[in-house]
Structure 1
């Protein structure tokens, strides 16, 4: 029993250290954060039960509540406003906000992550080029119920924010990839929903200043 309690405590501490690394170093890969946390704690990952991604996400939310309660909400609101502006520009590609900016866990290290959709993949390249927006393309792997698929992701800067827009086919707007946190379909938000989040944050900010 004592051993089980020790393992549970170690797992919780690993989740907390991994969350701190993600918050302070901008690590976005759960696996990398787990292994770095285990290394710091002197734990052999081959002989230990590592925390679930959902446990690390919960620990990250708690870390931000304790240590970033003043600046993080303002940073998040600013990133959501930037996301909404970009989504309006990219309206022809039916953009959806995903990731930490949508979940509320974003900080200064976070990219604004979008999913965009097009009948012809080259149309998105041409759109960015026509507007003089420099971009890099990287490959991203997403998990679906039947396995993994690979997609081009366009990385660019707009204003003070970094964006990553992953390009899907037009029909894939109806099928979200699996979340790395809990394996359920990834949450996606359209521009109308992001606008509501922005408005709600502004109302909360005004109330807080009363």
Structure 2
């Protein structure tokens, strides 16, 4: 076998090792930052070449495999988080919220929070709405990208919800790597997962 082919196979094997170790860190230690998980996994394995770091898609694939073997209950946790997200999005329906983050991507664990985004001209209107609906919340650290729009933390049935309030004109600008869906799209995701589960019974 040519030397380059051997080298490529060795590199691919190391990337896979990092991906699987990172997946374990995300699943077991509840790390939510993929970049941090990759770097920590590489350090633990003694692999410091940044060219070896796997893509987020490789991590997601490894995480799905890990959970299928070691956390078969994950699908139920994820479905519960998505159903909770539906309830919060219904409460905030006047603001046409988006779901984003780990609950949308499917990598959320049982301790993950629900991440929502709202785009409004008047950020105070969101806080006033929450107060009028007797929803307790507290401000989170300021969003450096939109420092005049708050990020609010609230709870729904014991689940943490992070609500990012952003200016309305930012809605047309999709942040790279940030997927987002509206309430109806989330309902379809939930229905699809339920159908898949019934087929696999």
Per the normalisation by structure 2, the TM-score is 0.85
Q: In 1, Cα distance between the equivalents of 2:98 and 2:84?
A: 13
Are residues 1:133 and 2:126 paired? no
Q: In 2, Cα distance between the equivalents of 1:37 and 1:22?
A: 10
**Which residue in 2 is equivalent to 1:58?**
61
Q: Which has the higher strand share?
A: 1
**Which residue in 1 is equivalent to 2:184?**
192
Secondary structure of the corresponding residue to residue 141 of structure 2: strand
Q: In 2, Cα distance between the equivalents of 1:203 and 1:38?
A: 38
Structure 1 198/134 Cα, relative in aligned 2: closer, same or farther at 3 Å?
Answer: same
Secondary structure of the corresponding residue to residue 139 of structure 1: coil
Q: In 2, Cα distance between the equivalents of 1:81 and 1:45?
A: 41
Secondary structure of the corresponding residue to residue 115 of structure 1: strand
Are residues 1:3 and 2:7 paired? yes
**Which residue in 2 is equivalent to 1:106?**
108
List alignment gaps of at least 5 residues for structure 2: none
Q: In 2, Cα distance between the equivalents of 1:156 and 1:45?
A: 40
RMSD: 2.2
Structure 1 158/197 Cα, relative in aligned 2: closer, same or farther at 3 Å?
Answer: same
Q: Do the aligned partners of 2:24 and 2:66 also contact (CA within 8 Å) in 1?
A: yes
Per the normalisation by structure 1, the TM-score is 0.82
**Which residue in 2 is equivalent to 1:76?**
78
CA deviations on 1:59-114 (whole Å, 9 max, x unpaired) are 11222222222x11111111111101100100121101112211222221321111
**Which residue in 1 is equivalent to 2:166?**
168
List alignment gaps of at least 5 residues for structure 1: 142-148, 180-185
**Which residue in 2 is equivalent to 1:115?**
117
Q: In 2, Cα distance between the equivalents of 1:45 and 1:4?
A: 14
